[in-house]
Amino acid sequence: MKKIAILLFFSIAKIVIAQTIIPKPVSIVLQKDSLSLQNITQIIVSDSILLSYNEFIDSSLLPNYSATNSIVFDTALPLSTISLKINSALTQQDEYVLRINKESIEIEGTQKSIFYAIMSLNQLLFYAKNDKVACQIIHDYAAFTWRGMHLDVVRHFFPVSFIKKYIDILALHKMNTFHWHLTDDQGWRIEIKKYPKLTQIGSTRSETMLEKHFDPFQGDHTPYGGFYTQEEIKEVVSYAEKRQIVVVPEIEMPGHSIAALSAYPYLSCTKSNFTPRTSWGVSDDIFCTNDSVFHFIYDVLDEVIALFPSSYIHIGGDEAPKIRWKQCKVCQQNIKNHNLKDEHELQSFFISKIDSFLNTKQRKLIGWDEILEGGLAQHAAVMSWRGEQGGIQAATTNHAVVMCPGSHCYFDHYQGNQKTEPLAIGGYTTLKKVYDYNPIPKDLPQDKEKYILGAQGNVWTEYIQTQEHVMYMAMPRLCALSEVLWSPKSNRNYSNFTERLIPHFELLNKKNIRYANAMFDVQSYTKGKKTGLFVELLNDIKNSEIRFTADSTIPTSTSKIYTNVLPIQKSSTIKAQTFIKHQPKGAVFSQDYFIHKAIGAKIENYIAPSESYNQGGIYTLTDGIVGNVPWTSKEWLGWYESDMSLTMHLNETKDIFQMQCAFLKAAESWIHLPEEVEVRFYNEKDELINTKIIHAKEIERQYDENKSLWIDVNLKIKKINFRAKPLNKIPAGMPGSGLSAWLFCSEIALL
């Protein structure tokens, strides 16, 4: 029986690539025969509410199908048809059954889930060979109820035509939520009829910062703006609704409100004149907590609610400095009047008032995880972006949660070799990292898992100016996330996913969707041993080769094939690339390896880096790689609100003349040089022989174009104690001003 099954599978595979659907269905049972698409001439529906689904079946792939008079309302099932039938017995989340028989195609589900079945059918039709598709039975349903993608249209604005295209690609992958970020410091993008100045003044900034030129600021000297009329909003909402996608609007409060304050300064604590921000980051000026602010917000939300039927309204709630509230008599009086402990509880009071208002309108509030600070509003849901802890805290107290930790779900991060990728905000979120994500935190009690609604990918557009760039950053990570949110965890396998993704790219090409090829990129792992430095090269692509060079030349189809770990005996450059059938794929991997006297040293007694920026582990500091800029978390370790502290044991006593400490300076990402570095040097008898303490001004002065602080040593050393203290508070005028700074280090080299 096993041999027969194998022969049957391979005969069917000649007709259609098996299991090409993304996201992967729960179950596909292949049958013996095939269906000729030539025979499909008609669609029959069992209920009039399904009539509109005719437009979503890709009739261009059915040779003899004509959209004119080809959809029929009937309960009978003649041959040579596609039938759509509501089946109330299918009760799991978005459950459907798709049967491809020898003479017909049958789809059963709910009104909503039949749409998802059609999305699967369209993919099968696209991959059909010789107008034939394998007979099969697909039984499918979703793992999570919130399967979302976000888009920031404030930092850069995108027309309705593109928003529809974005929604189409969500629909193809069975995503069901579009989170539309409509207001922020840099612009107000939604028409509010009662407050026309929001778009007359707040929608346009005077210019936009060039790349990452924060200090000194460099702008493009070009006014930038745009907004959606209420009619356009209705058009988008209706378009999404037909594709079973809920549009969740985000109206930022109390922070990220400079665009609104520019239009109506009386809403601020200082009543000063403002203009929409021309750079990115966080502003100290936020909404005040007086009655006029709440009247304004209620009025705005009234119009928003009328436009968006979504049960959730996103109110932001993130990155709201309390400096103005501390100085504001009205805010301080509110703290006293309502018996609040501090400004954090004042924010909770603010959010709770909005929560209560939305509940009177039969809507629910959702906000970023900062809304937990000071106490979570009674009915609020949390979108957890600063890691998973906020989501765990909210779910533990029986609040709904959408997971979108920056470590796995921020699609504005680099996804491949930063030397060849377009400019991004930072970070390093690969396709595999997205695919391996589990929205259910491992530390969450099992009885609280029901409060995790799902997850979403976030596309912030500070450095994404064009429609093509948006798609490039989203795709194919959106494909990976769709499978995380739709397919059972037990059904997921990254290698199988990439096998299906390669032909899926053909479908994206047909739809003129730009996507990244970073999945083909060669990855590297380094390890220092007593005998030297060793480099492992790998990729995630089956049936491929990695070819490499060690002389700085570009690999070709005749270059040496990588088969085993490479010893690096001297400072050199390794280049490598993936090849499939002798054709290069992805970007060329290129890495400089720097051999120094700390390679292979034992490191202990350290304060662990932040979980989000510890991808390579502590031995990243002695792997011979000085981190690149633009930076990725793989090369850089990050500490937040804690010192970097470690002990380095050399293999033997060595003459050390200089010490190179590679620190990152990236103010736009809240990453600053340390406030102080202290190094203690010990001899072979474990005796302290010297101490170096370097303060902020000297660090700044000695920091060079190689991203390094150089320390003169001239000692025989066996052990080093190293401590770097992060900058306590980010200076005014910088992104994240007033908050703690990140400290990033990639290498500690001894020469």
Contact 403, 412 (CB under 8 A): no
Sign of CA dihedral 279, 280, 282, 285: positive
The b/e string for 192-214 (b: 16+ C-beta within 10 A; e otherwise) is: beebeebbebbbbbeebbeebeb
Check 256, 399, 469, 504 and give the catalytic one. Answer: 256
Residues 6+ apart with CB under 8 A from 553: 575
Please answer whether residues 672 and 642 qualify as being in contact, where contact means their C-beta atoms are separated by less than 8 angstroms. Answer: no
- DSSP code for 14: T
Of the candidates 152, 250, 319, 369, the residue annotated as catalytic is 319
Helix axes 291-307, 343-360, angle to 10 degrees: 40
SS3 438: coil
What angle, 0 to 180 degrees and rounded to 10, lies between the N-to-C axes of helices 494-510 and 111-127? Answer: 80
| 319 among known catalytic residues | yes
3-state secondary structure 558-621: CCEECCCCEEECCCEEEEEEEEECCEEEEEEEEEEECCCCCCCCEEECCCCCCHHHCCCCHHHH
Catalytic entry in 106, 131, 152, 184: 184
How far, CA to CA in Å, does 28 sit from each of 9, 35, 636? 12, 16, 43
In 94-243, the DSSP E strands lie at 96-100, 105-109, 132-140, 146-152, 177-181, 183-184, 187-188, 204-205, 224-225
Structure tokens at 527: 């390890």
220 is catalytic: no
Give the CA dihedral 65, 71, 75, 81, nearest 10 degrees. Answer: 10
DSSP 705: T
C-beta atoms surrounding 225 within 10 Å = 17
CB 24 within 8 A of CB 491: yes
Tell me whether residue 191 is one of the annotated catalytic residues. no
Would you give the distance in Å from CA 719 to the centre of its chain?
A: 41
* First and final C-alpha spacing in the chain: 67
Angle between helices 291-307 and 230-242 (to 10 degrees): 50
Phi, psi at 456, each rounded to 5°: -155, 155
* Positions marked catalytic: 184, 256, 319
